[in-house]
Amino acid sequence: MNATQLNIDKVLFEILESVSDPEIPVLSIVEMGVVRSASVKEGVVCVEITPTYSGCPAMDVIGDDIKSAFKAKGFDAKVDLILSPAWTTDWITEKGRTALEKYGIASPLDAIADKEALLGNKKLVKCPQCGSLNTKLISQFGSTACKAFFQCEACLEPFDYFKCLK
């Protein structure tokens, strides 16, 4: 999502874009779709963020990182956590998906393909290392709540797959 879609002032947007997801440092919190709004009220920047998963331990860190990023530019910021509407992988931007793949994490498929892949019915998840579709599910849960664990049978590399969440 870009600044216009989220209706965020360009100056604020650029600062938010400089804050990265602590679990996936190549990705900014904006590209992750975690930032829902930002505006200035009575001289304080108010930012609303939403968790990818309820238990995501990165949320507290993200809140602190946002505050210090704004502080560095001379703003006071307040961060609120909102739950509704619930985050979905559709909010990861195109740029974000490319960054994930480059980082070695397979980006989420659509809901139907995701189910087929996670039930082990079809080989649909592409290995981010060699591009082969000959991959298999190792575990429904991966290194973090948002990922499942796969292995490529062509290049034998294990990798994380970002689960589809709708």
* Nearer Cβ to another protein (145/155): 145
CA-nearest of 163, 142, 144, 5 to 89 is: 163
| Helix, strand or coil, per DSSP, at residue 5 | helix
Among 134, 143, 154, 156, binds another protein (CB under 8 A): 143
What would the x/- binding string for another protein be over residues 2 to 41, using CB under 8 A? ----------------------------------------
* Nearer Cβ to another protein (99/165): 165
Residues 152, 158: Cα–Cα separation, whole Å = 6
Is 142 near another protein (CB under 8 A)?
yes
Is 56 near another protein (CB under 8 A)?
yes
Residues 166, 160: Cα–Cα separation, whole Å = 19
Among 57, 80, 95, 156, binds another protein (CB under 8 A): 57
Residues 52, 59: Cα–Cα separation, whole Å = 9
| Helix, strand or coil, per DSSP, at residue 80 | strand
Give how many residues touch another protein by CB under 8 A: 25
- Paired tokens of 112: 């139907």
Cα→Cα distances 153→123, 138, 157, 160, Å = 11, 11, 8, 14
CB of 1 to another protein, least distance (A): 19
CB of 118 to another protein, least distance (A): 8
Strand pairing partners for 137? 150
Within 81-110, which residues bind another protein (CB under 8 A)?
82-87
Which residues of the shown chain bind another protein in the complex (CB under 8 A)? 51, 53-57, 82-87, 118, 138-145, 149, 163, 165-166
